[in-house]
Structure 1
Amino acid sequence: MVVSSSNTTTITPQGAPNRRNTELVLLAFAVLVPVFAYANVGLAIDGSLPAGMLGYGLGLGAMALVAHLVVRKFAPYADPILLPIATLLNGLGLVLIWRLDQSKYLARLGQGEGTSNQLMWSCLGIAFFVGVLVLLKDHRILQRYTYISMVVALILLAAPAFFPARAQSFGAKIWIYIGPFSIQPGEFAKIIIAIFFAGYLMVKRDALALASRRFMGLYLPRGRDLGPILAVWALSILILVFETDLGTSLLFFGLFVVMLYVATERTSWIVFGLLMSAAGAAFVASFEPHVQQRITAWLHPMDIFLPEDQRPAGLISDQSAQSLFSFGSGGVLGSGLGQGHSELIGFAAKSDFILATVGEELGLAGMMAVLLLYALLVQRGMRTALAARDPFGKLLAVGLSSAFALQVFIVAGGVMNLIPLTGMTMPFLAQGGSSVITNWSLVAILLKISDTARRPAPAPAPTTDAEPTQVVRL
């Protein structure tokens, strides 16, 4: 008796494991480290564990778990490092803000309650993170909205100058007030403008890469190819003039130059970008008092302690000097969480100058650890760009990572007195709802691009060979 049977071979896609379990383990550490820091602050301040430590730990753990489950479902092959780093930075930021909330000096300034608001904004940031992962099926869909993104970004950037606001706060008009809440549209604009740059440069990069002549080792672009960079340069100058927002101007222009260089591989664009940014800054500083004050405070931070008749004109704040004192008193290992005096910086201690608290209470070692976390997040974003299979995804990942890196550099450089202060917030660490929501959305888009890049290719269709015959003798 001959019995015929067919043998079916199942072919599964071959590729790297999705690494979600690795992400879960790293998330556990990313939650435990801030909880330990929270306990350390309470013990340093009054010798007992904080009453809200359990609730803080459970809340941060719940946020991390929700984010992990959504990534596991909607981006299973995404990079396993990005989410834990963002969670750790956000958790440390909550601890530092709560530590500064305990300061009686800040309480007298009306700056004593910020932790509950920041926790609320962090939860909203996770909600946006989930929304991006669930609703954005494929990052390439964003390419369809290239020019719509440009219009939306311009509206967001210009809104603070025309939208009714309470006042021009702290020298820069960059907030819109809606009832008790304030929104900083420039934070949202950085993601939208990166989408526009990625879509535009993907189409125009061949034309922008052309060079008419070589001069002193540089390929000089043709005059008509200078149009885009001139337009962006002019727009950044207008932002600086009408809103006196030095940080957004630097971020906006620097992001375009970096993406232009990546798209064209022409060093000449970097040189032109640096020359034009220097020329624009010098031009605005020649007549804008707010920019002049920032430059004066950068060049002469300690002169604020001189008698008034001996101080440089325009030097009215001791924030830069107090920040340098904080870094200096921290030393290598720091004074310990809860045992510093960075609150003397004043109202900006929890926003612009929150890194000063890190430098004083965690020292040089803690500062380097925090900066390495930022560097690692940027590196994983750039690695995602290298792994992306489509040009738009590559440019978008580069743009988002570069925007994040530029903001960290601008804020850290200002706090450390390497460059003039800009008033921007440190991503994830500093108090600010717009910043937290934007940066969680940025991480979500990077995870979506990473998932597409790391996802195994579909298995080839099985070949239709003749079915083998199995002979059974009875």
Structure 2
Amino acid sequence: MPQRLRNLELGILIPAFVIILSAIVLVQLGALGHVDTQLIVLGAGLIVLVLGLHITLRFVARDADPFIVPIATVLNGIGIAMIYRIDIAEGNEGWDSIAVKQIAWTAIAIAAAITTLLVLRNHRILFRYTYLFGLAALVLLLLPLVPGLGNEVNGARVWISLGGFLNFQPGELAKIALAIFFAGYLVRNRDALSMTGPKFLGIQWPRMRDFGPLLIVWAVAMGVIVFQRDLGTGLLYFGLFLCMLYVATGRFSWIAIGLSLFVAGAIIAVQTLEYVRGRVDAWLNPFDQSVYDATGGSYQLVQGLFGLAKGSMLGTGLGQGRPYITPLAESDYIIASLGEELGLAGLFAIFALYLLFVERGFRIGFAGQDDFGKLLGVGLAFVVALQVFVVVGGVTRVVPLTGLTMPFLAAGGSSLLANWIIVALLLRLSDTIRNHPRLVIES
């Protein structure tokens, strides 16, 4: 069975490699009219790294899920191809281009995933360091606020500058540390959170003393929105905790209270924070001329919508559209870029890959017999799902823009690093569950 799983993974990886290299070639033919071997060679180097990850799994995680690595590889490769297309349009060819940097970060991220698999042989070890991961998450969240270290980019203070030339977003790693902390904390306190409390209107409500953790996480999320001016990250952290709290307790009252807190916080933020009010105005009135022309207004949103409309059902073809007209087309708005050149059909294929990735994560979580592994697997899968929903919802005007990046697709090294570590953790979870299905964690 383990050998068959790995053979299945290799069989899926081969067409994944073909898709990636074909996308790069089509971008070059569409935008340049000829094939340039430089990026193809770099892409082949990434293929070697992915094969290295596959070989590592054959030795240290033979029972790991066979679909996760191919899905992440395809999404990552398609993102590189589209970033390369934007580089060509903007004249950013060569070793300093964003696409080359994305390939370099992908190599680092895959190496980090391999290291995680080699170091972490059993996910239950993480349970011992629950509060240490909570402390690490807090430190990572506070780093951008440190004078001289934090760096403000596009109005959000969520970056740190390393050596004056490398920008990194520690919040991406903080979401993994928070998922581990939430899982460990909820396992230890699940009984108090799920079995006690008064009943009202047929619903069992939590006791006030058990209500504290939710208030603390809500306060942290609001603090991120206020002090770091990052609406998306605050929403992501709060949504992650709320999901894991519900899975741990099975109590709908936590969802009701959490959503009420979030709505109240959102109303206060809209009324008191200028940049939040600006994003809501751009969401509600994108075609209003005063909103469209305002600094930080709806120009980006409208251009993205026009790009998606231009793509129609089948798209203009890779390298043949004009996605570069939209600001940040290679990062925040890479979904609009892909929608223009691949069309609705191409976007549906990409969304199907995300859906399968999240489904495998949920399957891994719920298949586990220990509560910590269950919560961790569900939390890691949910954080990817929520991030995809918030990004796509912002681009398509379902929800206000938040500034989050599309997992695996968008340009950004810190996001890639965090998401490939999530891949490694899900692989380790799936392998441990299959190897020790009856092993129960000891509190």
**Corresponding position: 1:75 with 2:56:** no
Amino acid at match of 2:134: M
Amino acid at match of 1:61: I
Unaligned runs of 5+ in 2: 439-443
Please point out which of 23, 26, 32 is paired with 1:37: 23
Q: Residues of 1 paired with 2:331 and 2:375: CA distance?
A: 30
**Corresponding position: 1:162 with 2:146:** yes
Please point out which of 171, 174, 188 is paired with 2:173: 188
1:140 is matched with 124
Deviation at 1:213, TM superposition (A): 3.3
1:324 is matched with 305
Q: Residues of 1 paired with 2:28 and 2:362: CA distance?
A: 38
1:210 is matched with 195
Q: Measured at CA, do residues 414 and 311 of structure 1 come closer, stay the same or move farther in structure 2, by a change above 3 Å?
A: closer
Please point out which of 432, 448, 461 is paired with 2:412: 432
Q: Residues of 2 paired with 1:325 and 1:141: CA distance?
A: 49
Q: Residues of 1 paired with 2:363 and 2:208: CA distance?
A: 34
Q: Measured at CA, do residues 53 and 113 of structure 1 come closer, stay the same or move farther in structure 2, by a change above 3 Å?
A: closer
**Corresponding position: 1:334 with 2:319:** no
Stretch moving more, 88-97 or 57-66: 57-66
1:381 is matched with 361
**Corresponding position: 1:441 with 2:414:** no
Q: How does 1:79-158 map to 2 (within 5 A)?
A: 79-104=65-90, 113-158=97-142
Deviation at 1:166, TM superposition (A): 6.7
Partners of 1:143 and 1:199 within 8 A in 2: yes
Partners of 2:156 and 2:230 within 8 A in 1: yes
Q: Residues of 1 paired with 2:16 and 2:155: CA distance?
A: 37
Deviation at 1:203, TM superposition (A): 0.8
2:396 is matched with 416
Query: 1:90-140: CA deviations, max 9, x gaps?
Result: 111110110110113x759xxx82011111100000110010000001110
Query: 1:333-380: CA deviations, max 9, x gaps?
Result: 11111111111112x111110000111111111111111111110100
Q: Residues of 2 paired with 1:166 and 1:379: CA distance?
A: 36
Q: Residues of 1 paired with 2:158 and 2:216: CA distance?
A: 21
Q: Residues of 2 paired with 1:123 and 1:103: CA distance?
A: 25
RMSD: 2.0
Unaligned runs of 5+ in 1: 1-14, 459-474
Aligned length: 436
1:368 is matched with 348
Q: Residues of 2 paired with 1:394 and 1:205: CA distance?
A: 13
Secondary structure of 1:168's partner?
strand
Q: Measured at CA, do residues 367 and 181 of structure 1 come closer, stay the same or move farther in structure 2, by a change above 3 Å?
A: same
Q: Residues of 1 paired with 2:208 and 2:331: CA distance?
A: 42
Q: Residues of 2 paired with 1:160 and 1:456: CA distance?
A: 41
Query: 1:400-425: CA deviations, max 9, x gaps?
Result: 11111111111111111111111111
Partners of 1:18 and 1:78 within 8 A in 2: no
Q: Residues of 2 paired with 1:317 and 1:203: CA distance?
A: 46
1:11 is matched with none
Q: Measured at CA, do residues 72 and 231 of structure 1 come closer, stay the same or move farther in structure 2, by a change above 3 Å?
A: same
Q: Measured at CA, do residues 201 and 21 of structure 1 come closer, stay the same or move farther in structure 2, by a change above 3 Å?
A: same
2:379 is matched with 399
Stretch moving more, 211-220 or 226-235: 211-220
Please point out which of 182, 194, 199 is paired with 1:197: 182
Q: Residues of 2 paired with 1:319 and 1:53: CA distance?
A: 29
Deviation at 1:314, TM superposition (A): 6.5
Q: Residues of 1 paired with 2:296 and 2:24: CA distance?
A: 37
Amino acid at match of 1:204: N
Deviation at 1:313, TM superposition (A): 7.1
Partners of 1:293 and 1:314 within 8 A in 2: no
Q: Measured at CA, do residues 457 and 445 of structure 1 come closer, stay the same or move farther in structure 2, by a change above 3 Å?
A: closer
2:432 is matched with 452
Q: Measured at CA, do residues 16 and 71 of structure 1 come closer, stay the same or move farther in structure 2, by a change above 3 Å?
A: closer
Amino acid at match of 2:224: I
Deviation at 1:162, TM superposition (A): 2.1
Partners of 2:43 and 2:103 within 8 A in 1: no
Query: 1:210-256: CA deviations, max 9, x gaps?
Result: 24333344322222221110111111111111111111100000000
Secondary structure of 2:47's partner?
helix
Q: Residues of 1 paired with 2:168 and 2:292: CA distance?
A: 35
Amino acid at match of 2:317: G
Q: Residues of 1 paired with 2:408 and 2:17: CA distance?
A: 14
Query: Which structure has more helix as a fraction of its residues?
Result: 2
Amino acid at match of 2:271: S
Higher normalized contact order (CA 8 Å, seq sep 6+, divided by chain length)? 1
Partners of 2:127 and 2:184 within 8 A in 1: yes
Q: Residues of 1 paired with 2:322 and 2:350: CA distance?
A: 20
Q: Residues of 1 paired with 2:260 and 2:436: CA distance?
A: 44
Secondary structure of 2:199's partner?
strand
2:441 is matched with none
Partners of 1:42 and 1:48 within 8 A in 2: yes
Partners of 1:292 and 1:314 within 8 A in 2: no
1:461 is matched with none
Query: 1:158-216: CA deviations, max 9, x gaps?
Result: 11122424752211111001121001010000000000000000011111002433334
1:466 is matched with none
**Corresponding position: 1:272 with 2:257:** yes
Please point out which of 314, 338, 344 is paired with 2:325: 344
Q: Measured at CA, do residues 453 and 163 of structure 1 come closer, stay the same or move farther in structure 2, by a change above 3 Å?
A: farther
1:245 is matched with 230
**Corresponding position: 1:63 with 2:49:** yes
Q: Measured at CA, do residues 394 and 167 of structure 1 come closer, stay the same or move farther in structure 2, by a change above 3 Å?
A: closer
Please point out which of 193, 209, 231 is paired with 2:216: 231
Partners of 2:92 and 2:98 within 8 A in 1: no
Amino acid at match of 1:113: S
1:177 is matched with 161
Q: Residues of 2 paired with 1:233 and 1:53: CA distance?
A: 44
Q: Residues of 1 paired with 2:232 and 2:387: CA distance?
A: 8
Higher alpha-carbon Rg: 1
Amino acid at match of 1:335: T
